[in-house]
Amino acid sequence: MATNQNNKQINVEAFFKISYGLYVVSSGSGSKINGYVSNAVFQVTSEPAQFAICCNKNNFTAELIKESKLLSISVLKKDTDSKLLGVFGYKSGRDIDKFENVKYMTGVTGVPILLEDTIAWFECKVTQTIDFGTHLLFSAEIIENNLIDSSGEPLTYAYYRDIKKGVSPKNAPTYIDKGHVQAAISDAKKYKCQICGYIYDPAAGDPEHNISAGTDFAALSDDWACPVCGVDKSNFEIL
């Protein structure tokens, strides 16, 4: 339970019944390009064909969208590589070049368009920017688009959450504080995920994967995955 501004209790689990896809929204031009994983994408009008996307103001991509008034939306496929989700969902473009090792193209407007693990994309021009406090909502009209894989199934947030055990990055509109998952409450050997920063603490275990408290990192099975970004054990380093 959480509370709203009137101090009323809000049932947080109810939010998990809202269905979303998962996308990489990109922006920028030339050497300054970036993208992030978003679930907040919907079509607002069909004439003209126009999307709305919602983005945390702190995202580097939000800055680039504000500057360029351009963005692209890549629809991720169901079996998208967890490492791609880790890089685009949990790293900042201020620290790394997210496009370094992935397939992408530059659209007619100069905006980057992720093609890796992508089944369809839309290149768009921003039409309105609306302030929502912590987030910005951009509406954007389609300039070009393409369907890469007509039989490809899109990745949904429900699938990612249930199968890949992901939780929202801190900047997502759907973020719910899961500090307890990341709390370090013992002196046992802890391991840190090099992709998203999650810390595995044996004293806490991993309740989302039914790993009980007191389980050493070494005792986790090889198919155990980071409960935050979904990558495997090889991405963890001892603290």
21 is an interface residue for a second copy by CB under 8 A: yes
Question: Least Å distance between CB 163 and a second copy?
Answer: 14
Question: Least Å distance between CB 27 and a second copy?
Answer: 19
164 is an interface residue for a second copy by CB under 8 A: no
41-80 positions binding a second copy, by CB under 8 A: 41-50, 52, 54, 75
* Distances, alpha carbon 150 to alpha carbons 23, 47, 120, 121, 230, in Å: 16, 23, 8, 12, 26
Q: Return the number of the residue (49 or 199) whose C-beta is nearest a second copy.
A: 49
Nearest to 121 by CA among 135, 108, 136, 132: 108
181 is an interface residue for a second copy by CB under 8 A: no
85 is an interface residue for a second copy by CB under 8 A: no
213 is an interface residue for a second copy by CB under 8 A: no
Q: How many other CB atoms are there within 10 angstroms of residue 201's CB atom?
A: 22
144-163 positions binding a second copy, by CB under 8 A: 144-147, 150, 152, 154, 156-158
Give yes or no for a contact between 111 and 71, defined as CB atoms under 8 angstroms apart: yes
Q: How far apart are CA 66 and CA 138, in angstroms?
A: 9
State both tokens at 20: 């979303």
Q: Which stretch binds a second copy (CB under 8 A): 3-11, 80-88, 196-204, 218-226?
A: 3-11
Question: Least Å distance between CB 180 and a second copy?
Answer: 17
| Per-position b or e across 212-239, b if 16+ CB within 10 A of its CB | eeebebeebeeebbbbbbbbebebbeee
11 is an interface residue for a second copy by CB under 8 A: yes
Q: Is the peptide bond before 48 cis (omega within 30 degrees of 0)?
A: yes
Question: Least Å distance between CB 78 and a second copy?
Answer: 10
Pick from 109, 174, 182, 194 the residue near a second copy by CB under 8 A: 174
2 is an interface residue for a second copy by CB under 8 A: yes
Give the rounded distance of the alpha carbon of 123 from its chain centre: 19
Q: Which stretch binds a second copy (CB under 8 A): 88-96, 174-182, 196-204, 231-239?
A: 174-182
